[in-house]
Structures are given as structure tokens and as C-alpha cells.
Structure 1
Amino acid sequence: MNFHGIYPSTVLPMHPDFAPDWEAYAKHTAHCVLRPGIAGVLMNGHAGENFVMSRAEKKRAVEVTVATVGASRIVVAGVNAESSLEAAEEAREARAAGAHAIMVFLPNAFAMAHTTEMALLHHRTIMAAVPGMPLWLFQAHHRAGHMGFTPETLDALLDIPEVVGIKEGAWEVDAYDALRRRVKARRPDVAVCASGDEHLLACYVHGSDGSLVSLADLMPDEIVALDAAIRAGDLTAARALHERLEPLAEAIYGAPPGGRATARLKFCLAEMGVIPCPAVRPPQPPVLGAEAAMLRLALRESGVLA
């Protein structure tokens, strides 16, 4: 299976009481995934609030995703738990629900400190529960403490034969290119996907095998077109697409305070009429006031809303 391409990283719509709205989730998934040029979907990722969902909810999300996109797209299920044993159960349930691959997110405790041995043990414990299942790695944000992989840890993880791709989410272009070069030198078969939503143009110019990004929830066609323009060497078209994408990317991911992407994505999807309710689980508060006005302006500047 070729894992290159563009994957929207979906949110999980909720009712006002914070219960998952599965009907809205299916509609949202179909809206951004069932489009020309979209390779698959990353669900149960950070945008999908995987850190505040129960295991039963995560399994149900995989089931709904598979029922929505069928065999036409690749379904990558995020696995996120502090315990390696719990993460292994998540992976087993994702496979049983029909996921084609998993993406392992590191435990939040790793932000304090972790070793290569810890990272290897975490990933190998998970893979022992789903032998042979394709595995995506996740490179954390450059401000996520010690969570990101060191070069030595990355090399060790690339020795796991099931690794098929890496979502490079360091959000720093030089770090992205250094990782891309290291991976391609060691495992040229592994898909290195640029996933800093604000820096897609720069990363694509360096070279990329695709992206797994939540900005594609809102502007999937434009991201597919940006990727295609760079591959065709059409920088004029690529810059024009960047000018459309950047206002919304900056508003969602760049504007302070940080860590508000999911709440802002849900607000935008509700403004677009894709989902009925922008509820996000506590401790994240709703989008209101000046933040709402900023996002409405960005939606207009990016051409998403008239």
C-alpha cells in the first residue's frame, strides 16, 4: 500500500452536552475526505481530541470512518494513551474496527523526559498487539518539551519494519528538512509528510510525500492543489494557493493563545455549515468574542466564506 498523499486530520463533532455527534462526524468526514486527490484520513488524532476520548469512543470513531469512506481511502487511526498497555488495546480495537494503519502519539509524560529505550518499548508494546499492521510515527511540536524524537531515537524507531510513514509536526522548517533527509537516507520507503499547517509551501518546496493536516478539514482542495503545483514546478500557482491558505492557517494555529486549533476548527466548520455545533470538551473553552471575529475574517480572506 502506498501511503503517500494528503490526509485530512478530522475533528469529532459533539452535541452541546459533549457527547459525540456521530451523524455530524460522518458528514464532516465525507465532506473533506471523499474528494479527488485525497489519499486517506487521519482520525483520532490531536484534532480529534484523542486525549479526552474514551477507548469505546475511539473505536466507534474508527467504525464510523470506515463505514463512511469504505475501501476508497486509507484510514489511519491515532493511538494515544499514557500507558503502553492501554495504547496497545487501542491499537487492537482500531484494527478490529477496520483501520488500515495506526499512528502512535507519544505519552504526554514524555514531554518531561524520555529515552530511546522508552520510545522503543512504547512502540514495540503496541506493535506486539497488532503484528504486521502499518505504523505511522509522529514527530512532536518543537515546543513540546522533550517529546520530540532525537536523531538517535528516530534511527532506532526506523528499524521497526512496520513503519510506513511519519507525520512531521515539529512546526519548524529547518527541523522538518533535517528529519526528511535523515529518514530518506535510512529508510527511503518511509513516507515523510510535512504537517505544519502554516508552513506547507516551504516544506513542500524542500520535498514532501504528502501531509496529514487538520487545515484540510476546511480547505482540502487547495492543499491538494498546492501539493500538485509544487510537484509540477509551478511556483506561481503554488504561491497563489499559499496566499489563500495562509490567513486561515495563521488564525487557527498561529494566533495566541496556542493550543486552540481544535476549538477553532470546530467553530469554522460550524460557520461553514458542515457541523451543527462547535462544542469542544473541557478544559478547552468555546470560541467567543474577538476570537470568533478573527476566525470569521480569516474565513472570508481565504475565500471559504463569502
Structure 2
Amino acid sequence: MTYDKLDAKAHARAHMRGIWAAALTPMLPDFAVDEAGFRKNIRHWVDELGIAGLFINGKQGEFFSMSLAERKRSFEIAAEECRGSAQTIMSCSDQNFDTVLDLGRHAEAVGADYIVVHAPVLHFIHDRDDTLFNYYRLLCEELRIGIAMWSHPDSGYIMSPELCARIAELPNIVAIKYSVDRQHYRRLTELAGDSILVSTASEEEWLDNIVELGWQLYLCSSPPYLLQTKNDRRMHDYTELAFAGRVEEARRVRDSLEPVRRALKGTRPGGKPQAHQKYWQELLGQAGGPVRPPLLQLTEAEKAATRAAFEGCGLKL
């Protein structure tokens, strides 16, 4: 770590900027993690696509099927590959609080920049706010690293903007991935935008959030490396145009990606998001591989439909 706990908010405000992508975890045919492929993907994302930060071991990355040792190893690989060229935020989400702390301490030890922790499943509690505040308070007390909250309907509830703003007062809470509708994240930006960086994973809304809400961080999903190639960096380009105040130019570039978005999303089977995105990665020349059981693989027909849409979407390879 290159900052002290009490400087975490200022450090994030100065350095946590631009496009951050959530990494899929490439697998070999025997379902082992493809470490060489992971390193190759990271180098492409950082060196050729200009992605500023990587979100490691999130839901896209199949953390739920990985052992604790595999998750820690992924942290190590990402920290090694990104050191000096990009930043990292390691997902330490788990239902077991001691596991979250163990992963958080490992992230600190290997030189991660930040961690992100999903709000836990609390279906057995109806009045959750004080419990959730205490959850993040204890994390802040036990860890030195900057921490991002993550609220998503997968937890069975959404943390309210008011609760998030309360948690944002903790010293090393630096950001939130707020997977909610625009009304909620706009409200949180109003309440706590000076204390933490607010973001959501919707690429379609990213430009408007830069322009209308003053956001500086896209945190984060897979579009940064699925909608772009070395020779076609339109998400990067419209982001930089928006940051420079050239909004109409940015909108034209953003809108030109619509055929690619339709091809990607329109061929994705509802129950197979990771498998579909990994196959799209392979079409782009990245390492993908199978998903781990019990997730479902794409059928040959689904691959054919995806390949046809990919070839006709206008993405420059």
C-alpha cells in the first residue's frame, strides 16, 4: 500500500479514475485456473486497451466456485501484472466474515490498491441498517486498505442511499459499486459524493453519469474488454472526450457502439452470462475457456449465433 488508512479517501479521489473492468477468470479444459491466460488477458487489457484498474474475483470471475487458495493466487497474479501500470481492487466478498478479513489482509500483503466487499446476505434480519453499518465498521477497524462497498439485489435487499452515506463516513471507505437504478445512485451522489466515489456497472449510463453527475470512475463490469480491441477503443475514446468536456463528440462515439452492444447482449442466454462472455473473449483472441460446474456451458447452436453476431457487429479487430 502506498497510503495510510486515514489518507485512503484522498488517495482514491486522486487515483481511482477512469475505466475499471471486472475480470473473468479463464479456465483450462480441466477447470483449473488458466494462470498464463489470465496474465495474457491482463497485459492486453492494460497495455493495449488502456484500462485503468481491474476488479478481481467478483461474480463475473466465478469466485463462488474458487477455493480460498485460488482466490489469493488470483490476487497475487493481478497485483504482479498491474504493478506500475494499472490499479487493482480485489473482491473479498464472502458470507464468512473471517474469510473476508483473511482475503483483505492478503490483498494488503500483495500490494493491492483497494478491496471491494459485497453486502452480505441477511435474509433473516428485517431491520438491517445497524448490522450493515457494524459490518463495514469492523472491516475498517481490522484493515488498513481502502474499501469499496458493493450493494446489489443478489444480497436480497438494496442498501439505501442514506445508509450508504452513513457508512461513507468511515475513514477508509473510499467508493461504492452501487448496482441500483439511477434514482438511487443519483441520490447517493448528492448525499455522499464528496466522501466516496459512487459508481455503477452500466456502460450505457457511464457517459451521462460523467456529464450529469460529475463521476470520475467506471466500476465496473466486462464491457471495457468485450466492446473494445487494440484497434477499436471507442469506450476509452468517448470517456476521454467526456472528461475533456467534448460532450457531443463523446455521444457520437458512444452511440456508434450500439451495434456491438446489441450483438453482445442479444446473443447472451439468460442463464449463461459467464460462459457467453468467455466465448466472446475467445472470439476477440483473449483467454476464456469453460465455466466451472454447476454453471452451464454454451451449446454449439448458442456459439454459432454468438459468432455470427460478433462477425457482423462492426468491431474492428
Is 1:91 the counterpart of 2:98? The answer is no
Q: Distance in 2 between matches of 1:261 and 1:110?
A: 25
SS at match of 1:303: coil
Q: CA, structure 1 residues 60+111, in 2 after alignment: closer, same or farther (shift >3 Å)?
A: farther
Identity %: 26
- How many Å apart are 1:119 and its aligned residue? 1.4
Give the letter for the 2:272 counterpart.
Answer: R
Aligned position for 2:244: 232
Cα RMSD after superposing both structures: 2.6
Are residue 210 (structure 1) and residue 247 (structure 2) matched?
no
Partner of 1:150: 160
Shift of residue 4, structure 1, vs aligned partner = 1.9
Q: Which TM-score applies when normalising by structure 1?
A: 0.86
Of 137, 149, 164, the residue aligned with 2:174 is 164
Tell me how far 1:288 sits from its aligned partner.
Answer: 2.4
C-alpha separation in 1, matches of 2:268 and 2:44: 28
Contact 2:49 2:225 in 1 (8 A): no
Correspondence 1:45 to 2:53: no
Partner of 1:182: 191
Structure 1 counterpart of 2:3: none
1:272 positional shift: 1.5
> How far apart are the structure 2 equivalents of 1:254 and 1:176?
26
- The offset of 1:234, in angstroms, is 3.1
Q: What is the TM-score of this pair, normalised by structure 2?
A: 0.83
Give 1:100 deviation, angstroms.
1.4
Q: Please report how far the alpha carbon of residue 120 of structure 1 lies from its aligned counterpart in structure 2 after TM superposition.
A: 2.0
Structure 1 stretch displaced more, 289-298 or 47-56: 289-298
Change (3 A) 1:218 1:93: same
Once residues 164 and 38 of structure 2 are traced to their aligned partners in structure 1, the CA distance between those partners, rounded to angstroms, is: 34
Q: Residue 14 of structure 1: SS of its match in structure 2?
A: coil
Q: What SS does structure 1 have at the residue aligned with 2:70? A: helix
- Please tell me whether Structure 1 or Structure 2 has the larger radius of gyration of its CA atoms: 2
Shift of 1:9: 1.1
Deviates more, 1:19-28 or 1:245-254: 245-254
Q: Tell whether the 8 Å contact from 1:197 to 1:249 is kept in structure 2 after alignment.
A: no
1:19 to 8, 32, 39: 32
The whole-number CA distance in structure 1 between the counterparts of 2:250 and 2:77 is 34
Equivalent-residue separation in structure 2 for 1:252 and 1:5 (angstroms) = 22
Amino acid at match of 1:281: R
1:81 aligns to 2:94 (yes or no): yes
| Change over 3 Å in CA distance of 1:286–1:218 after alignment to 2 | same
Aligned to 2:302: 291
Letter in 2 for 1:279: P
